[in-house]
Amino acid sequence: MNSMSQSAAHSRVSGQSPLRAALVGNPNCGKTALFNQLTGNRQKVANYAGVTVERKEGRFVTPAGRAVALLDLPGTYSMNATSPDEAVTRDVCAGKYRGEPAPDLIICVVSATNLRLHLRFALEVRNLGRPMLLVLNMTDAASKQGLVIDLDRLSMEMGVPVVPAVGIRKGGAARLSGALDAMRIAPPEKTLSGDLHEEVRRLMTLSVTYPPDEGNILGEKIDRWVLHPVWGPCILAVLMFVMFQAVFAWAQPLMDMIDAGVAWLADTLRATLPDNALTGLLTDGVIAGAGTVIEFLPQILILFFWILVLEESGYLPRAAFLLDRVMASAGLSGRSFIPLLSSFACAVPGIMATRTIQNPRDRFVTILLAPLMTCSARLPVYALLIGAFIPDRRIGGIFNLQGLVLFALYAGAILSALVVARVLKQRDRGVEHPLLLELPDYRFPNPRDLALGLWQRAKIFLSRVGTIIVTLSVLMWALSSWPAPPAGAVGPSIDYSLAGRIGHLMLPLFAPIGFNWQICVALIPGLAAREVAVSALATVYAVGVADSADPAAQLAPLLSAQWSLPTALSLLAWYVFAPQCFSTLAVIRRETGSWKPVAVTAGYLFGLAWLAAFLTWHIARAF
């Protein structure tokens, strides 16, 4: 660093502006847990301008009062970037990213239990010549394994400060925060021009003492079962099965409480406010629309809870390893599994996660498959229809029938994705895609990180309810209420409204698959956000059914009374493949840089959805 840049750095840490620090490290090193420890709720999630790599920015203050602006960069295995997200990390650290200045300090996080792999990356970071702090995370797990690490010797040999940390334990980042007060922001004392692997071996020899019996650790014993060619897939299938059972079994009491609260609020407003258009807007538009969607928040959070637990525990990479052979049958590698699994939460971050896939064609196909995964926005639609038409009873005294149907819908989406992938990868038949994947140590999920992840997901969901869903619900109410029926008209007033006319215009296309005009109307706002289809149905039926005290709370009984079972099953089949929301299509455009994949995605999903609904409706009617 030249004298001018050193002066600028010192002026920043003296109080004129926060110290800008970047967290880097290999995937599974625990840097995000450290980030959460340091910043808590004082963070924001955003994307890099012009790309779709998610980043977190947060601020905190050290014990001595130094303000720090912390950036959590994407995990990467090497500064020799082989994927788009690795290129972002490399360029940000080197000060070469879109004119953005380099961070004042690079905090490189390595796992104390996997130093042989992670130190190589730390040496690459050191060679950038930027001020650097090395954090040895998971030191508690290393101690349990009998590893003894000489921190002073490692710091002397590396030429940078080294501090221990335990990212999943409260106060586990205290020494890191304190080290920022004590250290001098200056370039590393050493760099390396020779062989990195040889230097790693030298550092390990000088600073790490191994226990007499390295192999006798709990993780290896667990892997004998989890990675077993027979028992491993069975364990994975059981975990997935229990997850979908829990979505219905655990959530119902909370859903009933929310449903009762929404019904009470609607009844209170009706009893308090005069019977006019404004009251109708509040009760039949806002509450009937938004309240019906909020009811499914517990199920969405339970699904996210399972995904977070699998991720935090270190199981997800093992699941990718187990499914590598299955993915290979579709022409992909196990590396596509994690982006596709992320798409069960939302296709947008799932598509972003494909940036870790090195093979360009594998990445492209995975992007096209991500919308087929059953995102959490579909869950309110599934839950509504399954609750209305599938009996809540036990099969064999153990399994919930509604949970079995939900599992079948998810399984159908996965099997369909494998078939579509095989078709898209016809030209790559016989081409092998070897999977190189680090298997992290097992760790108990940090309750604080789980709670923070669920809270962030709840905020995202509720913000959608408060913006997109409420806005579209009000619009649907307006379309369903105007114009008023002419004098002497018979039948429900909604038949004469703009929504009714739009629905009847769409009916020729959707009548062959068993849809009525109310469903046609609900499909339109569902393009903005899937869960809006539920609020749209609630709004349409709230306006169209005048004798219901609370149409939103009575939506499921209304549907079961007015729809046939084949129609409900047809709509479920439609939503397995339904064309994605606009935000997903926009991300596909940004990731691929072309409108052609957007058109292909929307076209093939609409075709599959219509065909699946057509077959389901006619087969169900036959029985």
pLDDT in tens, 121-135: 999 999 988 999 999
Look at strands 399-400 and 19-25 and give their pairing. Answer: unpaired
| Strands 208-209 and 148-149, sheet pairing | antiparallel
pLDDT interval class at 13 (50, 70, 90): very low
Structure token digits, residue 289: 């629309």
Which pLDDT score, from 0 to 100, does residue 548 have? 46
User: Is the Cβ–Cβ distance between 76 and 85 less than 8 Å?
Assistant: yes
**pLDDT tens digits for range 54-69:** 567 889 999 988 899 9
Predicted confidence at residue 152, as pLDDT, reads 93
What is the C-alpha separation between 122 and 31, in angstroms, rounded? 13
**Dist CA 580 CA 47 (whole Å):** 21
Assign 461 a pLDDT band (cuts: 50, 70, 90): confident
The structural domains of the chain, ordered by start, are 3-209 (3.40.50.300)
Per-residue model confidence (pLDDT) at position 19: 92
Strand pairing of 148-149 and 162-164?
Answer: unpaired
Asked which of 42-51, 70-79, 221-230, 447-456 is least confident by mean pLDDT, the reply is 42-51
> 68 by DSSP, 3-state: which?
strand
Would the pLDDT of 429 be above 60? no
Residue 103: pLDDT band by 50, 70, 90 thresholds? Answer: very high
Distance, in Å, from the CA atom of 536 to the CA atom of 32, rounded to the nearest integer, reads 38
By C-alpha distance, which of 314, 317, 319, 322 is closest to 141?
A: 314
Check whether 136 has a pLDDT greater than 90.
Answer: yes
Measure the CA–CA gap between 194 and 92, rounded to whole angstroms: 25
pTM, two decimal places: 0.64
Give me the amino acid identity at 189: E
Is the pLDDT reported for residue 288 higher than 70?
no
Task: Say how far apart CA 315 and CA 445 lie, in whole Å.
Answer: 11
Q: What is the mean pLDDT of the chain?
A: 80
Q: Is the pLDDT of residue 216 over 60?
A: no
* CA–CA gap between residue 334 and residue 261 (Å, rounded): 44
More confident residue, 421 or 583: 421
Query: Rounded mean pLDDT of 273-287?
Result: 75
3-state secondary structure of 55: strand
Is the per-residue pLDDT at 257 higher than 90? no
Instruction: Give CA–CA dist 296/284, Å, rounded.
Output: 18
Q: Report the percent of the chain where pLDDT is more than 90.
A: 19
User: Between 526 and 75, where is the model more confident?
Assistant: 75
Is the link from the previous residue into 164 a cis peptide, with omega within 30 of 0?
Answer: no
Give pLDDT, residue 131: 93
Model pLDDT, residue 239: 86
Amino acid 289: pLDDT: 63
pLDDT reported for residue 194: 75
**More confident site: 549 or 82:** 82
- pLDDT of 521 reads 85
Query: Model confidence over 316-364: pLDDT tens digits?
Result: 778 878 877 777 777 777 678 778 877 877 787 778 778 777 777 888 8
Please give the sequence-ordered ranges of beta strands (E in DSSP) within 211-289, or none if there are none.
none
What pLDDT band is residue 151 in, cutting at 50, 70 and 90? very high
Distance CA 335, CA 320 (A): 6
pLDDT band at 75 (very low <50, low <70, confident <90, very high): confident
Measured between alpha carbons, how far is 365 from 367 in angstroms, rounded to an integer? Answer: 5
Split at pLDDT 50, 70, 90, the class of 427 is low
> How many CA atoms are closer than 13 Å to the CA of 337, on its beta-carbon side?
21
pLDDT at 155: 92
Segment 78-107 shows an average pLDDT of 84
Q: Could you report how far apart the first and last alpha carbons of the chain are, in Å? A: 77
Grouping H, G, I as helix, E, B as strand and the rest as coil, residue 491 is coil
Residue 217: its pLDDT value, please? 66
The mean per-residue pLDDT over the stretch 520-526 comes to 82
Q: Are 263 and 552 in contact (CB under 8 A)?
A: yes
Planar angle of CA 551, 553, 554, nearest 5 degrees: 60
**In this prediction, what percent of the chain has a pLDDT beyond 70?**
85
- Residue 423 near residue 365, CB atoms below 8 Å: no
> What span, in angstroms and rounded, lies between the C-alpha atoms of 257 and 276?
29
Q: Residue 56's pLDDT is what?
A: 77
| Between residues 567 and 472, the one the model is more confident about | 567
* pLDDT score of 50: 43
Spatial separation of the C-alpha atoms in residues 242 and 180, rounded to whole Å: 45
pLDDT given for residue 247 in this prediction: 73
pLDDT of residue 433: 53
Lowest mean pLDDT among 195-209, 287-301, 495-509: 287-301
Cβ burial, residue 57 (10 Å; 0-12/13-18/19+): middle
Higher pLDDT, 325 or 11: 325
Nearest to 30 by CA among 305, 321, 442, 343: 442
Question: DSSP string spanning 508-537?
Answer: HHHGGGT--HHHHHHHTGGGT-TTHHHHHH
Most confident of the ranges 14-23, 31-40, 248-257, 436-445: 31-40
In angstroms, how far apart are the furthest CA atoms of the chain?
94
**How is residue 562 written in tokens?**
């007015």
- Tell the residue number behind the tokens 């109080």, with chain if given: 15
Task: Place 248 in a pLDDT band, splitting at 50, 70 and 90.
Answer: low
